[in-house]
Structure 1
Amino acid sequence: MKRWPKTFLQPEALKQRLHILSALDIVLCQEEWLRRYQFEPQWDENTAFASINNGAGDDLYILFTPEGVIVKGFDHESEMSPHAREEYEVWPGIYEQVPPALLHRLDDEALTREDVTFCLWRESTDHVWKTGDIHNPQGLDDGSDFLLGMIYNSSEDYVEWAEDYYEVNVPLDVVGYAFENTSITKEMMMELNPEVDLEMAMKELQEIGFTVT
């Protein structure tokens, strides 16, 4: 195995960021199936789950467990996809060195373990993210820049995406507040989406443990 070569958030910061992105999606979009971000604080015992799905066949699953964190990404256009291989096999090196306790977490049928183009992980005792020794002499694109890039590092980047995706004006100050405080007010919810069903959105935010003040 080797160190993940790209800059990536620390586990707690990653979890918080995905929590915020999911909460913003809840306010902006009442149709769950249209949302890009999902967060479940109690996916399984002591395990939180986050996902990103762009609706075009690409997805990212992240599990926060007592053993550590595992991230599985699938870019359906990548030449490293099992669907692009004659044997329909996971690309060599992606899973072989994942700690068994973390890899086992992907056994849930909903996580489509075989649909993968990259994987990274961090055990609870690790100080860096790790990935397998991937056999990729041609330097094929595994989709990681594309998919991990959806975990926006700034409110400005999120607003740019959300305005394009939802075709609405998204107030930067409200998103900035959510990014900074991991919370939102009812007034801000109305500012984000004047047509939001406030009661329903607040119920969903409560379910994922997001603070409404």
Structure 2
Amino acid sequence: MHHTHGPHDAPDLHGLLARLPDRPALRDRCRGLAMLEAILSPDWGGRYYSFDSQWGEGEEMASMRDGEGDDWFLVLSAAGAYARGFDHTAPNAGPALTAEVPAAFRAYVDEPAFGAEDGAPLATVCFWREPGDAAWRAPSAAPTGGVELFDLLAAEDLAEAYAVWAEEYYECEDALDRAAIAHVLALRPLTAAVVAALNPDVEPAELAEDIAGIGYPTA
């Protein structure tokens, strides 16, 4: 899916940030999405959304990779949450965009995993939230693109939005079970019935490693 970029991108970011839930709820959304992906795509390389609950010391990381050069990373820690996205069709705004990022998140700005192969920062949009913040914040400089990469995280009805997206992405012949999707997004322990409703080719026992890595509740 390709998007055009123009002067309307900046208000889109503020609209996105207004719709995003707070940090704990966003973390839950990211874990639920990652679990759904683990069920629908046993092959890790084919997954769009993932979550690493043991990314670093006291740090968790949610991520999205579309396989076409676009991605985003969201780091959650005691310092708060820092998100950065990269739209490969927009000019890299790297250093200029991240100049206002609070000191608590500077390490993530320079994180090699979020940059180009030579380690140079790659970013076309970023935003953050510290523990004392009442809302998500972003640089005063207008982003150049990639705001729409986060759209699903802000969906009002996430189960329906994810189902519609996944049916297209995974080329499902039948509609995905909305109740099973809602069950996973609510972070309720997986049952054989829920897993089978989403992907009959996956056994619940095969998901143990993903459940541990995502930090998905088991009881």
Tell me the TM-score normalized by structure 2.
0.82
The answer to whether the 8 Å contact 1:186/1:212 transfers is no
Which residue of structure 1 lines up, in the alignment, with residue 110 of structure 2? Answer: 107
The residue that corresponds to 1:150 in the other structure is 152
Instruction: Give, in angstroms, the shift of residue 117 of structure 1.
Output: 0.3
How many Å separate the matches in 2 of 1:30 and 1:181?
Answer: 19
Determine whether 1:5 maps to 2:18. Answer: no
Q: Describe the superposition over 1:63-111 as per-residue Cα deviations: whole angstroms up to 9, x where unpaired.
A: 0011111000111112xx22xxxxxx6363x111111221212333112
Question: SS of 1:63's equivalent?
Answer: strand
Could you tell me how far apart the structure 2 residues matched to 1:91 and 1:102 are? Answer: 14
Say which SS state the counterpart of residue 131 (structure 1) adopts: coil
Structure 2 unaligned segments of length 5 or more: list them.
1-12
Distance 1:197 1:10, change over 3 A: same
Aligned pairs for 1:57-206 (under 5 A) are: 57-78=69-90, 81-82=91-92, 90=94, 92=96, 94-112=97-115, 114-134=121-141, 136=142, 141-144=144-147, 146-151=148-153, 152-153=155-156, 154-168=158-172, 169=174, 170-206=176-212
Q: 1:63 touches 1:70 (CA, 8 Å); kept in 2?
A: yes
- CA deviation digits over 1:11-30, x for unaligned, max 9? 11110000000000001111
Query: How far does residue 202 in structure 1 lie from its aligned partner after superposition?
Result: 2.8
Does the 8 A contact of 1:73 with 1:119 survive in 2?
Answer: yes
Give aligned-pair identity as a percent.
Answer: 27
8 Å contact from structure 1 (residues 72, 119) kept in 2: yes
Superposition RMSD in Å: 1.9
Structure with the largest fraction of strand: 1
Normalising by structure 1, we get a TM-score of 0.84
Q: Distance in 2 between matches of 1:22 and 1:125?
A: 27
What amino acid sits opposite 1:117 in the alignment? T
* Counterpart check, 1:25 vs 2:25: no
Segments of structure 1 that go 5 or more residues without pairing to the other structure are 83-88
After the TM superposition, which of the residue ranges 31-40 and 94-103 deviates more from structure 2? 94-103
Between stretches 100-109 and 21-30, larger displacement belongs to 100-109
The number of residues matched between the two structures is 196
What is the deviation of 1:183?
3.4
Deviations 1:127-150, CA, capped at 9 Å, x for gaps: 11111120x5xxx75221x11113
